[in-house]
A and B are shown apart, each in its own frame.
Chain A
Protein backbone atom coordinates (compact mmCIF):
# COMPACT_ATOMS: atom_id res chain seq x y z
CA UNK A 1 0.00 0.00 0.00
CA UNK A 2 1.46 3.42 -0.93
CA UNK A 3 2.45 5.58 2.00
CA UNK A 4 3.62 9.04 2.94
CA UNK A 5 7.29 9.09 3.92
CA UNK A 6 9.03 11.72 6.02
CA UNK A 7 12.68 12.48 6.66
CA UNK A 8 14.46 12.76 8.96
CA UNK A 9 12.70 10.80 11.66
CA UNK A 10 14.40 12.92 14.32
CA UNK A 11 15.97 16.37 13.96
CA UNK A 12 17.88 18.14 16.72
CA UNK A 13 18.58 21.82 16.09
CA UNK A 14 19.91 24.78 18.03
CA UNK A 15 17.44 27.58 18.73
CA UNK A 16 17.56 30.24 16.03
CA UNK A 17 18.70 27.84 13.32
CA UNK A 18 16.74 27.05 10.18
CA UNK A 19 15.31 23.58 9.72
CA UNK A 20 13.75 21.87 6.71
CA UNK A 21 11.48 18.89 7.14
CA UNK A 22 10.90 16.71 4.12
CA UNK A 23 7.96 14.66 2.95
CA UNK A 24 7.20 12.48 -0.04
CA UNK A 25 3.42 12.33 -0.43
CA UNK A 26 1.55 9.47 -2.08
CA UNK A 27 2.35 9.79 -5.77
CA UNK A 28 -1.10 10.46 -7.28
CA UNK A 29 -2.28 12.72 -4.47
CA UNK A 30 -2.90 16.38 -5.18
CA UNK A 31 -3.44 17.96 -1.75
CA UNK A 32 -0.71 18.21 0.84
CA UNK A 33 -0.76 19.16 4.51
CA UNK A 34 1.43 19.74 7.52
CA UNK A 35 0.28 19.15 11.11
CA UNK A 36 2.16 19.23 14.35
CA UNK A 37 1.69 17.56 17.73
CA UNK A 38 3.39 18.92 20.82
CA UNK A 39 4.13 16.15 23.31
CA UNK A 40 0.96 15.14 25.15
CA UNK A 41 -1.27 17.49 23.16
CA UNK A 42 -3.64 17.34 20.20
CA UNK A 43 -2.67 17.08 16.56
CA UNK A 44 -2.88 20.65 15.18
CA UNK A 45 -3.33 21.76 11.57
CA UNK A 46 -0.63 24.04 10.16
CA UNK A 47 -1.13 24.41 6.42
CA UNK A 48 -2.66 22.91 3.30
CA UNK A 49 -1.17 23.16 -0.17
CA UNK A 50 -2.61 22.60 -3.63
CA UNK A 51 -1.54 23.49 -7.13
CA UNK A 52 1.72 25.01 -5.87
CA UNK A 53 0.17 27.42 -3.47
CA UNK A 54 -1.10 27.56 0.08
CA UNK A 55 -4.85 27.01 0.21
CA UNK A 56 -5.34 27.36 3.96
CA UNK A 57 -3.20 28.02 7.01
CA UNK A 58 -3.69 28.23 10.75
CA UNK A 59 -2.61 30.93 13.21
CA UNK A 60 0.37 28.75 14.12
CA UNK A 61 1.73 29.06 10.58
CA UNK A 62 3.31 32.50 10.93
CA UNK A 63 6.06 34.18 8.89
CA UNK A 64 8.68 31.83 10.32
CA UNK A 65 7.11 28.95 8.43
CA UNK A 66 7.08 28.27 4.70
CA UNK A 67 6.21 25.32 2.49
CA UNK A 68 7.44 24.35 -0.91
CA UNK A 69 7.05 21.63 -3.49
CA UNK A 70 10.48 21.91 -5.11
CA UNK A 71 9.95 19.05 -7.54
CA UNK A 72 7.30 16.53 -8.53
CA UNK A 73 7.72 14.35 -5.47
CA UNK A 74 8.90 16.29 -2.40
CA UNK A 75 6.95 18.61 -0.12
CA UNK A 76 8.92 20.56 2.47
CA UNK A 77 8.25 22.58 5.60
CA UNK A 78 10.85 25.19 6.53
CA UNK A 79 11.10 26.90 9.87
CA UNK A 80 13.35 29.90 9.38
CA UNK A 81 14.46 30.70 12.95
CA UNK A 82 13.47 27.96 15.34
CA UNK A 83 12.21 28.61 18.85
CA UNK A 84 12.07 26.28 21.84
CA UNK A 85 8.29 26.06 21.47
CA UNK A 86 8.67 24.64 17.95
CA UNK A 87 9.71 21.33 19.52
CA UNK A 88 7.05 18.85 18.43
CA UNK A 89 6.23 15.97 16.09
CA UNK A 90 5.54 17.28 12.60
CA UNK A 91 3.30 15.19 10.38
CA UNK A 92 2.89 15.46 6.65
CA UNK A 93 -0.32 14.22 5.03
CA UNK A 94 -1.69 13.96 1.53
CA UNK A 95 -5.04 13.29 -0.08
CA UNK A 96 -6.42 12.67 -3.52
CA UNK A 97 -9.11 15.32 -3.19
CA UNK A 98 -10.08 18.17 -0.94
CA UNK A 99 -13.34 16.81 0.40
CA UNK A 100 -13.28 14.59 3.46
CA UNK A 101 -14.57 11.65 1.42
CA UNK A 102 -10.99 11.54 0.15
CA UNK A 103 -9.24 10.83 3.46
CA UNK A 104 -5.86 12.26 4.36
CA UNK A 105 -3.03 9.81 4.79
CA UNK A 106 -0.28 10.66 7.25
CA UNK A 107 3.40 9.94 7.47
CA UNK A 108 5.04 8.82 10.70
CA UNK A 109 6.40 12.25 11.39
CA UNK A 110 9.62 14.05 12.19
CA UNK A 111 10.40 14.61 15.83
CA UNK A 112 11.89 18.12 16.04
CA UNK A 113 13.86 18.93 19.17
CA UNK A 114 15.03 22.52 19.65
CA UNK A 115 17.88 23.03 22.13
Chain B
Protein backbone atom coordinates (compact mmCIF):
# COMPACT_ATOMS: atom_id res chain seq x y z
CA UNK B 1 0.00 0.00 0.00
CA UNK B 2 1.37 3.39 -0.98
CA UNK B 3 1.88 5.86 1.83
CA UNK B 4 0.32 9.16 0.75
CA UNK B 5 0.93 12.69 2.00
CA UNK B 6 -1.42 15.59 1.30
CA UNK B 7 -2.03 19.01 2.88
CA UNK B 8 -4.20 18.98 5.99
CA UNK B 9 -6.33 21.87 4.80
CA UNK B 10 -6.87 24.30 1.93
CA UNK B 11 -9.00 27.40 1.52
CA UNK B 12 -10.56 28.70 -1.66
CA UNK B 13 -13.30 30.97 -2.95
CA UNK B 14 -16.27 30.17 -5.12
CA UNK B 15 -15.46 30.07 -8.82
CA UNK B 16 -11.77 29.37 -8.37
CA UNK B 17 -9.89 26.31 -9.57
CA UNK B 18 -8.50 24.20 -6.74
CA UNK B 19 -5.53 21.87 -7.08
CA UNK B 20 -4.80 19.39 -4.31
CA UNK B 21 -1.47 17.62 -4.60
CA UNK B 22 -0.70 14.26 -3.05
CA UNK B 23 2.72 12.65 -2.83
CA UNK B 24 3.15 8.88 -2.93
CA UNK B 25 6.86 8.18 -3.24
CA UNK B 26 6.62 4.43 -2.66
CA UNK B 27 3.79 3.68 -5.03
CA UNK B 28 3.92 0.15 -6.42
CA UNK B 29 3.82 -0.75 -10.09
CA UNK B 30 0.26 -2.10 -9.96
CA UNK B 31 -1.19 0.64 -7.70
CA UNK B 32 -3.85 3.00 -9.01
CA UNK B 33 -4.36 6.47 -7.54
CA UNK B 34 -7.89 7.04 -6.36
CA UNK B 35 -9.49 10.15 -4.93
CA UNK B 36 -12.54 10.22 -2.67
CA UNK B 37 -14.64 13.08 -1.29
CA UNK B 38 -16.36 12.92 2.09
CA UNK B 39 -19.01 15.23 3.54
CA UNK B 40 -19.78 15.17 7.28
CA UNK B 41 -21.85 12.14 8.30
CA UNK B 42 -21.67 10.64 4.81
CA UNK B 43 -19.61 7.88 3.25
CA UNK B 44 -16.58 8.53 1.04
CA UNK B 45 -17.67 9.23 -2.50
CA UNK B 46 -15.51 8.10 -5.42
CA UNK B 47 -14.37 11.05 -7.53
CA UNK B 48 -11.74 9.88 -9.97
CA UNK B 49 -8.86 7.48 -10.42
CA UNK B 50 -5.91 7.02 -12.74
CA UNK B 51 -2.68 5.18 -13.34
CA UNK B 52 -0.65 7.80 -15.18
CA UNK B 53 -0.96 10.95 -17.35
CA UNK B 54 -4.28 12.78 -17.22
CA UNK B 55 -7.80 11.61 -16.55
CA UNK B 56 -10.86 13.86 -16.72
CA UNK B 57 -14.49 13.25 -15.85
CA UNK B 58 -17.50 15.49 -15.29
CA UNK B 59 -16.36 16.35 -11.77
CA UNK B 60 -12.57 16.67 -11.77
CA UNK B 61 -9.26 16.10 -13.50
CA UNK B 62 -6.39 14.01 -12.22
CA UNK B 63 -2.80 14.62 -13.27
CA UNK B 64 -0.18 11.94 -12.64
CA UNK B 65 3.38 12.61 -13.87
CA UNK B 66 5.49 9.95 -15.53
CA UNK B 67 7.32 9.00 -12.31
CA UNK B 68 3.96 8.52 -10.52
CA UNK B 69 5.40 9.80 -7.25
CA UNK B 70 2.68 12.41 -6.95
CA UNK B 71 -0.75 13.27 -8.29
CA UNK B 72 -2.87 16.41 -8.45
CA UNK B 73 -6.63 16.55 -8.18
CA UNK B 74 -8.01 19.58 -10.01
CA UNK B 75 -11.50 20.87 -9.23
CA UNK B 76 -12.61 23.51 -11.74
CA UNK B 77 -14.67 26.48 -10.51
CA UNK B 78 -15.47 25.23 -7.02
CA UNK B 79 -18.72 26.06 -5.27
CA UNK B 80 -19.69 26.15 -1.59
CA UNK B 81 -20.94 22.58 -1.89
CA UNK B 82 -17.41 21.38 -2.68
CA UNK B 83 -16.45 22.02 0.95
CA UNK B 84 -15.45 18.54 2.09
CA UNK B 85 -12.53 16.28 2.97
CA UNK B 86 -10.64 14.90 -0.01
CA UNK B 87 -8.65 11.68 0.26
CA UNK B 88 -5.86 10.46 -2.00
CA UNK B 89 -5.28 6.71 -1.90
CA UNK B 90 -2.78 4.49 -3.64
CA UNK B 91 -3.63 0.83 -3.59
CA UNK B 92 -3.39 -2.33 -5.62
CA UNK B 93 -5.81 -4.80 -4.17
CA UNK B 94 -8.80 -4.84 -1.85
CA UNK B 95 -8.00 -2.93 1.32
CA UNK B 96 -8.20 0.85 1.22
CA UNK B 97 -6.09 2.75 3.73
CA UNK B 98 -7.42 6.23 4.36
CA UNK B 99 -5.27 9.02 5.73
CA UNK B 100 -6.56 12.21 7.29
CA UNK B 101 -7.23 13.76 3.90
CA UNK B 102 -7.36 17.43 2.91
CA UNK B 103 -10.12 19.57 4.38
CA UNK B 104 -11.14 21.98 1.60
CA UNK B 105 -13.11 25.02 2.73
CA UNK B 106 -14.78 27.06 -0.01
CA UNK B 107 -15.93 30.53 0.98
CA UNK B 108 -18.28 32.95 -0.81
Contacts and interface: CB of A to CB of B under 8 A. Distances in A.
Given A4-B43, A43-B38, A100-B96, 14 more contacts: A31-B94, A33-B96, A45-B95, A56-B95, A58-B95, A91-B43, A91-B44, A98-B93, A100-B91, A100-B93, A103-B49, A106-B44, A109-B41, A109-B43
Interface of B: 30-32, 34, 36, 38, 41-46, 49, 51, 87, 89, 91-100
Interface of A: 4, 31, 33, 35, 42-45, 48, 55-56, 58, 89, 91, 93, 98-101, 103-109, 111
Q: Name B's interface SS.
A: loop
Q: Name A's interface SS.
A: strand
A103 B99 CA distance: 17
Contacts of B41: 89, 108-109, 111
B87 to A, nearest CB: 8
